[in-house]
C-alpha cells in the first residue's frame, strides 16, 4: 500500500476572502467557514479565531487538535466520521504544514483539567502547537444537545475545517511529497531477511469511560467491543484513527503525524523490517484485559512473525497496566518489547513511576510526568475560553498535563521524566 | 559579576578531625574555628570561592549511640555559624560516619534551610538511609584521593548554595535521590523507544528510563482456622461510598478511606451508595454495588454457615493514582483495625 502526503508549507495565515492558498500564505474566509460549520444544528454561537506563533496569546479549553488534511485521490476524508466508510492509507493526501485546527470544549466542568496552548513564552516550545498557526473553534451546544453529541459536533467541526483548509492546496505544487509504502508484511527481499521484524502495538482508546454512540475512533467505530486487530500503518496516518473524546495527553494531530509509525518507517529496510501495526483498546474488566493481551501478542508473534514490538498507551493507570500485560505476553512468546509510559507517580517519587512489574518488560521510555507543576506566564490575550480569561491572562500555576501537546503518549514529545 | 564568597561549615568525625582514633570515638560534638583535618581539603577545593568558617567534629560512637542528641547538638553548632553551605564528610565506606553525615545534612536542611552535601561509597549504609533527602556524592571506599573526591563535593555544594540548576545524577556524580523531574530530551520518545528496542533485539545493553518498582513481595498468610469458624471482612479500593461521600474520599490520588457499617443489611441498596472513582467506568457498580462489594453473597454464605461471620464494617477507598506512601499507610491502618476487631480473613476487591 502506498500513500503520498503532499505537503504545502504555510508561513502566514490571515483572514481574507475567499479561502485560498497564495504561495505560503493561507487566506481564510472566516465568515464562509462559520456558515459551513453553523449548518450543524447541535452547535450554536460558533466563533473562529486565528492565533500565531510568538503572539502573547493563550488558548484555553482545548479539546483536540487536528492537522489539515484532504484527500486528493484514493479515499475519503476522515472515513467513517466525516467521509463515508472507506479504506484509508492509499493514494494522495494534501497536507498543510505549519497550521493546526484547535477545537475547544466550552462545557468542561473542571477547569483544573482544561488544556491550554501557549503561543509565546517558555511553554510554547514544549508543544508542537506553540509553533503552528492555529485556527481556534469555539462553539456552544444548541439547547437540548447532550454532552456526547456536543463533543461529536465539535470534533466534526474541526475535521470539516481541517479538510476545508487543506483543500486550498489542491492546485498548489507541493513543497515536498512524503511517500509511505510498505509491502505486505511477509514479503521480505532475501537481502533484507536478516533484519529484525518489528511491530507496533497502538492502544487507540481506553474504556475507563464508555464511548458515546457518535464517538468514532476507528473508521467511525466507537470500538466498544473491539478485539486487537491488524491495520496498515498508512491507515493510521491517513485519518482512519481519531482520538476519543476523553483521551488524556493525546491529540488527533499526533495520530495523524504518528511519531512511532514515522520512526519505524524511517528505520524500515535499514535496521529493521516494519512488520505492521496492531490496534488495541484498554479494556475495562480483567477477563477482557487478559483476552485482549494474549490476542494482541498472538497477532504480533504468530501472524506478523515479529521479533520485536513497541507499545504505546492512552489514558491513565488501567491502560498503563493493560499495555504492560500485552507486552508481557509478547515477551513470553519470545518477542522483545519496549513500551512508552507516562510517569505515573503523583508525588514525584521514582518508586511510583510504574504500576506494573512483569518479567521481561524492562525497556521503558517515558513521556514525562503530567503531574509536575509548571508556570503559565501572563499573556495579553485569551482565546477559546472567554469565561476563564480573567484567570488565564495572569500568571498561574498548572501542570505539564494541562499544557496541550507537552506530553503526547504516542511519543511525539521530547519531555521526559528523569530520575534524580 | 563577582559572586559573594561562601561561608562553609564542615562536619568531620574524630579521625578526619584529627582528634584521634577509635579511642576518641565517644567524644561529643565540638566546634573549631576555620578548617582542620580533612576540612583543609574542602578549603583547598573552594579556593577563592569560599571560606571554611568552622569545623564541627563528633566522635563516631557518640553520633551512632545517641544519634538524635548528637544531631540536635551539631545543628545548634551549625546554626551559630550561619553558613551558606554544610559539607559533611566525605565518609567513604565508614558506616557510622556515613549515617551521621546523612542525618546531619537532612536535619540541617530541614531545620535551618541551609543546603548541604556529603559524599560516601555506594555500600555505605548512609546512602540508602539518606539519599532521598540529601545530595550524596559517590566516592571511593577509602580516602586515598581525598582532594579529588572533595573537589566533586564542593562543586556540587557550590551549585546548591548558589541555587543553580542541578543536573542528572550521572552528570553530577551523586546518588539518585529517587525523585523525578521533567526535562527535555534530545529525541522524541518514539525515536528513543525504537532505538532502545534495536539495542534490546541485538542483545546489547540499554538504559530503561523508568526504574522497575521494588515492591516487596507479600506472602498471603495461611488461615489458621476453617472458613466455617472465620470472620470475613470486605475491603475494596473500587470507590464504594455512601451517598454524599461523607468522608470526602478523593476521586483520584486518595489519601482517605471510609469505614461503612453493613450491620443489619442483607445487601447494599444502590440508591444509598455512590462511587467517585475516576479510574474506571463505574456505571455497572453504581447500578448494583454488589458487583464491587458482594455483601449479598457474603450474607448468604454467613446464613448457610459456609463462613463463620461477615464483619459488619466495610472499608473502602479509591485506588487510582494513589501514592505508594498513602497506599501503604491506609493498608496498614485498615489491617490494624481489622485485626483489633478479630477479623480472620479479608476479601479485597479491586477494579
Question: pLDDT tens across A217-234, in order?
Answer: 999 999 998 999 999 999
C-alpha dist (Å) from residue B141 to A58, B148, B150, B248: 54, 13, 13, 52
**B177, B188, B275, best to mutate vs chain A, most A CBs in 10 Å:** B188
Residue A397 near residue A328 (C-beta atoms within 8 A): no
Establish if B42 belongs to a structural domain.
yes
Nearest-angstrom CA–CA distance, A101 and A252 = 10
Establish if B1 belongs to a structural domain.
no
C-alpha dist (Å) from residue A136 to A217, A385, B110, B230: 22, 10, 48, 63
Positions in chain B short of pLDDT 70: 1-3, 214
Establish if B251 belongs to a structural domain.
yes
Q: Is A341 on the interface with B (CB under 8 A)?
A: yes
Same domain, A224 and A354: yes
Mean pLDDT score, A291-297: 97
Same domain, B236 and B145: no
In chain A, % helix, strand, coil (3-state, to 5) comes to 25, 35, 40
Same domain, B19 and B158: yes
Per residue in A345-359, pLDDT tens? 888 888 888 888 898
pLDDT given for residue A110 in this prediction: 64
Establish if B299 belongs to a structural domain.
yes
Same domain, B168 and B231: no
**A203, A308, A352, A362, best to mutate vs chain B, most B CBs in 10 Å:** A352
pLDDT given for residue A393 in this prediction: 94
Same domain, A193 and A123: no
pLDDT given for residue A113 in this prediction: 60
Min Cα distance A23 → chain B (Å) is 31
Establish if A337 belongs to a structural domain.
yes
Same domain, B55 and B118: yes
Residue of B nearest to A410 (CA): B190
Establish if A318 belongs to a structural domain.
yes
Per residue in A179-215, pLDDT tens? 999 988 888 999 999 999 999 999 999 988 888 889 9
Same domain, A197 and A256: yes
The residue among A216, A81, A103, A222 whose CA lies nearest residue A154 is: A103
Domain that holds residue B308: 227-349
Same domain, A215 and A161: no
Residue B281 near residue B311 (C-beta atoms within 8 A): no
Same domain, A154 and A25: yes
pLDDT given for residue B320 in this prediction: 85
Report chain A residues whose CB lies below 8 A from the CB of B208: 362-365
Same domain, A135 and A189: no
Same domain, B129 and B241: no
Per residue in A76-126, pLDDT tens? 999 999 999 999 999 999 999 999 999 999 997 665 566 999 999 999 999
Same domain, A151 and A281: no
Residue of B nearest to A399 (CA): B182
Contact B321 A317 (CB under 8 A): yes
Same domain, A123 and A204: no
Same domain, B168 and B260: no
Q: Which of A263, A338, A368 sits opposite B200 (nearest CB)?
A: A338
Same domain, B154 and B12: yes
Establish if A411 belongs to a structural domain.
no
Establish if B202 belongs to a structural domain.
no
Establish if B192 belongs to a structural domain.
no
Establish if B235 belongs to a structural domain.
yes
Q: Which three cell numbers stand for residue A248?
A: 488524556
The residue among A138, A137, A121 whose CA lies nearest residue A53 is: A121
Three-state DSSP string of chain B: CCCCCEEEEEEEECCCCCCCCHHHCCCCCEEEECCCCCHHHHHHHHHHHEEEEEEEEECHHHHHHCHHHHHHHHHHHHHHHCCCEEEEEEEECCHHHHHHHHHHHHHHHHHHCCCEEEEECCCCHHHHHHCCCCCEEECCCCHHHHHHHHHHHHHHHHHHHHCCCCCCHHHHCECCCCEEEEEECCCCHHHHHHHHHHHHHCCCCCCCCCCCCCCCCCCCCCCCCCHHHCEEEEEECECCEECCCCCCCCCCCCCCEEEEECCCCCCCCHHHEECCCCCCCCHHHHHCHHHCCCHHHHHHHHHHCCCCEECCEEEEEECCCCCHHHHHHHHHHHHHHHHHCCCCEEEEECC
Same domain, A214 and A167: no
Same domain, B250 and B329: yes
Domain count, chain B: 2
Enter the ipTM.
0.97
Same domain, A159 and A304: no
pLDDT given for residue B90 in this prediction: 96
Same domain, A202 and A290: yes
Same domain, B12 and B160: yes
Phi, psi of B182 (to 5 degrees): -75, 130
Same domain, A247 and A341: yes
Q: Which of A209, A347, A369 sits opposite B325 (nearest CB)?
A: A347
Residue A263 or residue B281, greater confidence: A263
Interface of A with B in 235-264 (CB under 8 A): 259-260, 262-264
Final residue belonging to a domain, choices A130, A160, A176: A176
**B169, B170, B189, B319, best to mutate vs chain A, most A CBs in 10 Å:** B189
Report chain B residues whose CB lies below 8 A from the CB of A263: 188, 190-191, 193-194
Query: Would you say residue A326 has pLDDT above 50?
Result: yes
B61: CATH: 3.40.50.2300
Establish if B274 belongs to a structural domain.
yes
pLDDT given for residue A246 in this prediction: 79
Same domain, B151 and B243: no
Q: Which of A18-32, A34-48, B2-16, B101-115 has the lowest mean pLDDT?
A: B2-16
Contact B197 A310 (CB under 8 A): yes
Report chain B residues whose CB lies below 8 A from the CB of A345: 180, 323
Domain that holds residue A151: 2-176
Mean pLDDT score, A13-36: 98
The residue among A2, A43, A118 whose CA lies nearest residue A403 is: A118
Domain count, chain A: 2
Min Cα distance A403 → chain B (Å) is 13
Establish if A404 belongs to a structural domain.
no
Same domain, B154 and B240: no
Report chain B residues whose CB lies below 8 A from the CB of A198: 194, 197, 201
Report chain B residues whose CB lies below 8 A from the CB of A368: 182
Establish if A391 belongs to a structural domain.
no
Q: Is A346 on the interface with B (CB under 8 A)?
A: yes
Same domain, B59 and B130: yes
Amino acid at each position: 500500500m502506498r500513500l503520498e502526503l503532499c505537503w504545502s508549507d504555510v508561513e502566514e495565515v490571515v483572514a481574507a476572502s475567499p479561502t485560498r492558498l497564495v504561495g505560503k500564505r493561507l487566506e481564510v474566509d472566516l465568515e464562509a467557514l462559520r456558515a459551513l460549520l453553523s449548518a450543524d444544528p447541535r452547535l450554536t454561537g460558533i466563533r473562529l479565531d486565528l492565533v500565531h506563533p510568538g503572539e502573547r496569546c493563550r488558548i484555553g479549553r482545548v479539546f483536540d487538535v487536528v492537522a489539515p488534511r484532504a484527500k486528493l485521490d484514493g479515499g475519503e476524508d476522515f472515513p467513517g466520521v466525516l467521509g463515508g466508510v472507506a479504506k484509508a492509507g492509499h493514494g494522495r493526501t494534501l497536507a498543510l504544514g505549519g497550521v493546526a485546527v484547535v477545537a475547544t470544549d466550552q462545557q468542561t466542568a473542571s477547569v483544573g483539567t482544561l488544556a491550554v496552548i501557549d503561543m509565546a513564552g517558555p511553554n510554547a516550545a514544549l508543544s508542537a502547537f506553540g509553533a503552528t498557526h492555529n485556527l481556534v473553534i469555539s462553539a456552544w451546544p444548541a439547547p437540548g444537545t447532550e454532552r456526547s453529541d456536543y463533543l461529536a459536533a465539535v470534533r466534526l467541526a474541526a475535521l470539516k475545517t481541517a479538510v476545508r483548509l487543506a483543500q486550498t492546496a489542491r492546485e498548489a505544487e507541493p513543497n515536498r511529497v512524503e511517500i509511505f509504502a510498505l509491502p505486505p508484511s511477509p514479503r521480505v527481499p532475501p537481502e533484507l531477511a536478516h533484519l529484525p521484524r518489528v511491530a507496533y502495538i497502538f492502544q487507540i482508546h481506553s474504556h475507563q469511560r464508555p464511548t458515546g454512540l457518535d464517538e468514532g475512533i476507528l473508521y467511525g467505530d466507537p470500538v466498544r467491543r473491539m478485539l486487537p486487530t491488524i491495520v496498515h500503518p498508512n491507515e493510521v496516518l491517513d485519518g482512519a484513527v481519531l482520538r476519543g473524546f476523553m483521551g488524556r495527553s493525546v491529540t488527533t494531530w499526533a495520530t495523524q503525524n504518528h511519531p512511532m509509525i514515522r520512526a519505524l518507517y524511517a528505520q524500515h529496510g535499514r535496521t529493521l523490517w516494519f512488520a505492521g501495526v496492531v490496534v488495541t483498546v484498554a479494556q475495562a474488566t480483567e477477563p477482557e484485559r487478559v483476552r485482549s493481551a494474549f490476542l494482541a501478542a498472538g497477532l504480533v508473534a504468530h501472524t506478523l512473525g515479529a521479533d520485536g514490538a513497541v507499545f504505546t498507551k492512552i489514558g491513565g493507570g488501567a491502560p498503563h497496566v493493560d499495555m504492560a500485560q500485552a507486552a508481557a505476553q509478547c515477551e513470553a512468546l519470545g518477542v522483545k518489547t519496549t513500551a512508552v509510559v507516562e510517569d505515573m507517580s503523583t508525588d514525584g517519587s521514582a518508586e511510583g513511576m510504574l504500576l506494573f512489574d512483569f518479567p521481561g518488560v524492562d525497556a521503558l521510555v517515558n513521556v514525562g510526568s503530567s503531574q509536575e507543576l509548571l508556570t503559565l506566564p501572563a499573556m495579553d490575550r485569551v482565546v477559546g475560553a472567554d469565561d476563564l480569561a480573567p484567570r488565564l491572562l495572569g500568571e498561574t500555576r498548572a501542570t505539564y498535563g494541562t499544557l496541550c501537546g507537552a506530553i503526547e503518549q504516542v511519543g511525539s514529545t521530547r519531555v521526559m521524566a528523569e530520575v534524580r | 559579576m563577582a559572586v559573594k564568597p561562601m561561608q562553609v561549615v564542615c562536619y568531620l568525625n574524630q579521625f578526619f578531625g584529627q582528634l584521634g582514633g577509635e579511642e576518641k570515638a565517644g567524644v561529643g560534638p565540638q566546634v573549631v574555628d576555620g578548617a582542620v583535618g580533612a576540612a583543609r581539603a574542602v578549603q583547598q577545593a573552594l579556593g577563592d570561592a569560599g571560606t571554611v568558617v568552622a569545623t564541627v567534629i563528633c566522635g563516631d560512637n557518640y553520633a551512632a549511640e545517641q544519634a538524635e542528641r548528637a544531631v540536635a547538638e551539631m545543628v545548634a553548632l551549625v546554626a551559630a555559624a550561619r553558613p551558606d553551605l554544610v559539607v559533611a564528610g566525605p565518609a567513604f565506606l565508614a558506616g557510622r560516619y556515613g549515617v551521621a553525615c546523612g542525618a546531619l545534612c537532612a536535619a540541617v536542611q530541614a531545620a535551618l534551610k541551609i543546603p548541604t552535601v556529603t559524599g560516601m561509597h555506594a555500600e555505605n549504609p548512609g546512602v540508602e538511609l539518606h539519599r532521598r533527602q540529601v545530595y550524596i556524592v559517590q566516592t571511593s571506599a577509602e580516602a586515598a584521593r581525598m582532594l579529588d573526591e572533595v573537589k566533586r563535593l564542593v562543586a556540587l555544594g557550590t551549585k546548591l548554595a548558589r541555587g543553580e540548576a542541578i543536573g542528572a545524577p550521572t552528570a553530577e556524580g551523586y546518588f539518585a535521590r529517587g525523585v523525578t523531574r521533567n526535562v527535555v530530551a534530545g529525541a522524541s520518545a518514539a525515536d528513543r523507544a525504537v532505538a532502545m528496542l534495536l539495542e534490546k533485539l541485538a542483545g546489547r545493553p540499554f538504559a530503561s528510563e523508568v526504574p522497575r518498582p521494588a515492591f516487596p513481595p507479600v506472602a498471603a498468610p495461611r488461615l489458621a482456622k476453617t472458613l466455617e469458624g472465620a470472620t470475613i471482612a470486605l475491603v475494596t479500593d473500587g470507590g464504594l461510598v455512601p451517598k454524599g461521600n461523607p468522608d470526602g474520599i478523593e476521586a483520584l490520588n486518595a489519601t482517605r478511606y471510609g469505614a461503612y457499617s453493613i450491620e443489619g443489611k442483607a445487601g447494599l441498596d444502590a440508591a444509598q451508595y455512590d462511587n467517585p472513582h475516576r479510574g474506571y467506568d463505574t456505571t455497572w457498580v453504581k447500578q448494583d454495588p454488589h458487583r464491587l462489594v458482594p455483601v449479598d453473597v457474603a450474607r448468604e454464605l454467613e446464613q448457610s454457615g459456609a463462613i463463620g461471620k461477615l464483619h459488619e464494617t466495610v472499608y473502602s477507598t479509591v485506588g487510582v493514582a494513589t501514592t505508594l506512601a498513602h497506599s501503604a499507610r491506609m493498608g496498614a491502618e485498615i489491617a490494624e483495625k481489622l485485626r483489633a476487631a478479630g477479623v480472620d480473613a479479608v476479601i479485597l476487591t479491586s477494579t
